[in-house]
Amino acid sequence: MQVASDQTTLRPARESDVPALVRLLRRSWLVTWAPELPFEAVQAFAAFDPARLQAENEWQSFIVAVRGDVLIGMMQVGDDQITDLHVDPAYWNKGAGSKLLVAAERQVACIHPVVRLEVRGFNTRARGFYARHGWKEVRTYSGMECGSPIENVEMQKRIKS
């Protein structure tokens, strides 16, 4: 008996996905970023709730990853940049992130020869994921996350010759 290694499908987000997107974005931030930031930044995240605002205001530009009826990931592209790529931590290492990344790269490749993204310096897991997919770190620079200073890493990948 053969078992499919990845039953994840991608589709444009629907307005009915907004509650699941809010949960996904909150969980992604809390699992990945909250442990690396001061408590005040976590308090600011909880008070401001940027995950809810982003999901409610930008869902039309999201591509989502679903397994069955469960929304497990999302990505968003703006011009030559992948602005967001999140997978529910319960589904890490199961192919959804790679599928979303390839789709985002293809979307940018329609217009630009190089795709960019920004990742937090402390997010070594994401940096390794992108490096395994051919991305290169090109610069670091200071930024802010919920009022706390952080280091950002810009990564790029040539997708057209």
Q: Is residue 14 part of a domain?
A: yes
Q: Is residue 1 part of a domain?
A: no
Domain that holds residue 92: 9-158
Q: Is residue 4 part of a domain?
A: no
With a cut of 70, say whether residue 3 has pLDDT above it: no
At residue 161, the pLDDT reads 53
Count of structural domains within the chain: 1
Residue range 118-143: mean pLDDT, rounded: 96
Predicted TM-score (pTM) above 0.85: yes
At residue 160, the pLDDT reads 74
End-to-end CA distance of the chain: 42
Mapped onto helix, strand or coil, the DSSP state of residue 148 is strand
Sign (positive or negative) of CA dihedral 23, 28, 29, 30: positive
Q: What's the burial of 121, exposed, middle or buried (CB within 10 Å: 0-12/13-18/19+)?
A: middle
Q: Is residue 150 part of a domain?
A: yes
What is the C-alpha separation between 41 and 32, in angstroms, rounded? 13
Name the average pLDDT for the chain.
Answer: 93
Q: Is residue 2 part of a domain?
A: no
Q: For the domain that residue 18 is a member of, what is the CATH number? A: 3.40.630.30
pLDDT band at 6 (very low <50, low <70, confident <90, very high): low
With a cut of 80, say whether residue 4 has pLDDT above it: no
Q: What's the burial of 47, exposed, middle or buried (CB within 10 Å: 0-12/13-18/19+)?
A: exposed
pLDDT band at 20 (very low <50, low <70, confident <90, very high): very high
Tell which phi-psi region holds residue 34, choosing left (phi > 0), alpha (psi between -120 and 50) or beta: alpha
Q: Is residue 3 part of a domain?
A: no
pLDDT band at 42 (very low <50, low <70, confident <90, very high): very high
